[in-house]
Chain A
Amino acid sequence: MPLPTMLIIDTLGVEITDSFHLADADSALEPGAIVTLARLTQGGAKGGAQGGALPRPLGVVLEPGARLDSLLPHLAALDLICVAFPKFRDGRGFTLARALRERHGFTGAIRAVGPVLPDQAQALVACGVTQIETSDRHPPGQWAAFLAQAPHPAPAQLLNRLLTRAATT
């Protein structure tokens, strides 16, 4: 079932064109498809025009609590990972995003999806998120003020000024 269209913004709060779509479970994959982790790992992501090759670009949705082990073999085939936040208070997505960037070296786009708040914008970006799916309740205009200083806010406290590497770069 297609979700309502949500506006996607980048780390400066600027609206971007979404070149991805949620894949229909029963159809062959087109370029720009976003699949579930199950479909990706069960080989069901195949089924592009050539009947086997994975389409590109390709995205996947990562639910909170997902074990990364099954995703890791497919990282090179992915252009977008959507990290799901079921509630804005559920912070697992921050750790997932950071682990993808820092521990597993993922260089594609990471998109926060779910009811996240503009007040969380800088933390999302600091953890490696590059795109945010906004909602009607908190449209792009509300995010701009929080992202204007991001992605590299001036390190305020002494420790952050001194640490050569305090967060994901």
Chain B
Amino acid sequence: MGLQIVTGNRLRDGQAVWLAGDGGWSERIGAARLFGDAEIDAGLALVSTPAVALEVVDLQAAPAVEVAGEAVPASHRERIRSLGPSVRTDLGKQAGLDDSVREGASEPPPSFPQPPFAGIYQYDQLDRQFLRERAEAFRHQVARRLAGALSEEEFKPLRLMNGLYLQLHAYMLRVAIPYGVLSAAQLRALAHVARVYDRGYGHFTTRQNIQFNWLRLVDAPDALAALAEVDIHGIQTSGNCIRNTTTDQFAGAAEDEVIDPRVFAEILRQWSTDHPEFTYLPRKFKIAITGSPNDRAAIRVHDIGIMACRSEAGEIGFQIHAGGGLGRTPVIGTKCRDFVPVRELLRYVEAILRTYNALGRRDNIYKARIKILVREMKPAAFLAMVESEYAALPADYCVLDDAIVDAVASRFASAPFSTLPAESAALQAALGSDAALAAYVTSNAHPHRVAGYISAVISLKPPGGIPGDASAEEMELCADLAERYSFGELRVTHEQNLVLPHVRKDDLPALHAALVAGGLGSANIGQVTDIIACPGLDYCALANARSIPLAQDLGRRFADPALQREIGPMTLNISGCINACGHHHVGHIGLLGVDKAGEEYYQITLGGAADEHAAIGALLGPAVPADAVVDTIDTIIATYRTHRAEGERFIDTYRRLGAAPFKEAVYAAPNHADH
């Protein structure tokens, strides 16, 4: 006979708690009251009371066993909830930290003056007032929830609208980095939030956001108020609304751009913020924009993808795609229009949203994304509806005339670039004597539109590290380096790295030395250890498997820089569940965690791509157990190295040969196929 326990998360701080024998709630799973399978419904009924609803949320039963009179978790998920992240044994219940103390939380936040030339959208007092009021509105909502004036069902969408989730161990605050652009001051404020309201670090995500994993509900309004002072927020980082628009991390700096997409991403941000019609959509809605024909924003796997282009007459406009997405039903988007002029951009996007809001499915959350609507209606019928809505918009509605675009563009300071020779003699000299620097420049630098400058990527994927995690100290180091070398500006990439966008080539040797000294010198961008990974079951309430330890093991296996260079350009993406936050479908190699009878297994897909040749990876074969994944990836890479033609990347070889040789190598090997 099975045993079960009743668990939930404490409303005020999100801590995992268990119903104890005395009827109270314990932070220790051992004290949990054990119910027989036949009694568990009665146990849950016991706590379905208005009084408990003010104290504990997300009530559920979990399987357990009894050992020496104590409850012991019987599922992987519950074990992690009862201990803390397996990848951070210094945190959570396993570390015995006293959660009642958060030093500095009661003091006013320090002031972080904005650097004058950072390429963020410069707020004025009205913009700033909007964020302050929004933080205060959330404070009011939290107070109403704690007092019972809002039920949990009512409150949940409101907190999600401000970026606050409830995860396994606590609340998680997701803060938007608007289109990936960040000032040194903003990064310092994020470090401050990490230190004061969280546990000293943050996690950069695959959608140009940062997440803090240990927030308390009661502190969230203060954290948001502190961020509002540097013009950042958690608005629309969650919930069924238009999420923050993402773009190319080299926007405004890359040499291959038609337009600077930051301006239009900001316009889309302002248009979608608190949009009265589109805040309660059938499901979340993600827009990406690229200013370059070389798509670094994965626009074809977004609900709406926008690519800047020129008409035959030379007019600037946008090609529009809709209905792309990942998740459990990966779809490459449908092209809606080859050319929408700038002045019509918001109008056309609005027509797509209106069609989706009216007709998108609301009966099944797994079928509620726009990609399913497009598929079920058929693209032609969907496009006809969009065109009909578009044609019916009032002629003066939301017209994006030149004056508006210019006014928004003028809020982006242009950096005072120096006139420099295209090549740097100092850099060339240093490259000759410093192999590590040469490797860094080869893999981590991206061409800049201004002669003598370069964009330098800071890898957040050290060997054996947690992809995308940065400590408060690392954030502050990056802020220092941004101030010293990049006009106080940084970028956040959807590959979970940081960028100093405007570095003088002359300064690269000094920058590289500083990064190496700070443990941030990994020269692995675009290589096999530049692994994209979601937080997985160590943190996430939805996950089936732990993505992070797998990423760490893979990072260690391929850590040798020479080996990585020899393997060449490669994307390796890991998602801990079908929701695909690690974008595994579009990795050259994709790994998807699945739960098989309580054990972690991974499905392997090959051939995915997120760029202008976007493709959904194909499943290689049966899932392999977690402890065999690293060897299996080794086998796949060895197969590529055996078969590759001169100059071929992994993806090229795969496209030329198909899955057959990889399948044979992986499943013929006795160690992997038998599980």
Contacts and interface: CB of A to CB of B under 8 A. Distances in A.
A165 B400 CA distance: 11
B271 A88 contact: no
B102 interface: no
Interface string A56-81: 00000000100000000000000000
A154 B125 CA distance: 13
Contact of B404 (A102, A124, A163): A163
Interface in B102-133: 124, 126-127, 129-130, 133
Interface string B264-289: 00010011011011111110000000
Interface in A99-152: 99, 102-103, 117, 119-120, 122-124, 126-127, 142
B270 A157 contact: yes
A91 B357 contact: yes
Given A157-B270, A158-B127, A165-B394, A94 B277 contact: yes
Nearest to A162: B404
Given A91-B277, A119-B141, A166-B398, A159 B357 contact: no
Which interface residue of B124, B133, B277, B404 has the most chain A CB atoms within 10 A? Answer: B277
Contacts of B157: 88-89
Given A90-B362, A92-B358, A95-B277, A157 B127 contact: yes
Contacts of A89: 157, 240, 280
A124 B150 CA distance: 19
Which interface residue of B149, B240, B276, B399 has the most chain A CB atoms within 10 A? Answer: B276
A156 B130 contact: yes
A166 B154 CA distance: 28
Contacts of A91: 240, 277-282, 357
A159 B130 contact: no
Contact of B154 (A94, A95, A117, A162): A117
Interface string B402-422: 011001100100000000000
A95 B279 CA distance: 11
A158 to B, nearest CB: 6
B280 A90 contact: yes
Nearest to A157: B270
A159 B358 contact: no
A142 B144 CA distance: 11
B130 A157 contact: yes
B396 interface: yes
A85 B277 CA distance: 13
Nearest to B272: A159
Contact of B407 (A95, A99, A102, A162): A162
A156 B127 contact: yes
A160 interface: yes
Interface of B: 124, 126-127, 129-130, 133, 141, 149-150, 154, 157-158, 240, 267, 270-271, 273-274, 276-282, 354, 357-358, 362, 392-394, 396-399, 403-404, 407-408, 411
Q: Which are the 8 A-B pairs with shortest beta-carbon distances?
A: A91-B280, A126-B276, A156-B130, A159-B270, A123-B276, A157-B270, A94-B277, A95-B357
Interface of A: 64, 88-92, 94-96, 98-99, 102-103, 117, 119-120, 122-124, 126-127, 142, 154, 156-167
